[in-house]
Amino acid sequence: MAFVKIGSLAALPPGSVMEAEVGEGTYAICNVGGQLSALDGICPHAGGPLGQGNLDGEKVVCPWHEWAYDCRTGVNDYDENVKLATFAVKVEGDDILIDVPQTVRE
């Protein structure tokens, strides 16, 4: 895996979520109180775009059917057996970078 720039920190203020696409992968990047996290951006319930949803505390909420996931762990708020993949995030200057699998970047 390798870090890839997905956007600007200025575009992701605290309390917001953004969608990022890298290759064929879609990610939801959350800013909860200044702490960034990244998780799979497709809701397993019906394929909704999590990065187009909103934050409710530390949870990202799918805009289609309101399924919610912990931004840090990817665990669903109703069924802990439903879990999204999470990815390392780092900030360099104003750039947000996430660590994505090599196969996604190709």
DSSP 23-74: TTEEEEEEEETTEEEEEESB-TTT--BGGGSEEETTEEE-TTT--EEETTT-
Average pLDDT over residues 75-98: 96
User: Which amino acid is present at 20?
Assistant: A
Q: What is residue 21's three-state secondary structure? A: strand
What pLDDT, on a 0 to 100 scale, did the predictor assign at position 105? Answer: 47
With CA atoms as reference, report the closest residue to 3 among 32, 38, 34: 38
pTM assigned to the model:
0.92
Q: What is residue 11's three-state secondary structure? A: helix
What pLDDT, on a 0 to 100 scale, did the predictor assign at position 104? Answer: 52
What pLDDT, on a 0 to 100 scale, did the predictor assign at position 103? Answer: 60
What pLDDT, on a 0 to 100 scale, did the predictor assign at position 23? Answer: 86
* 106: pLDDT strictly greater than 60: no
Q: Which CATH class is domain 2-105?
A: mainly beta
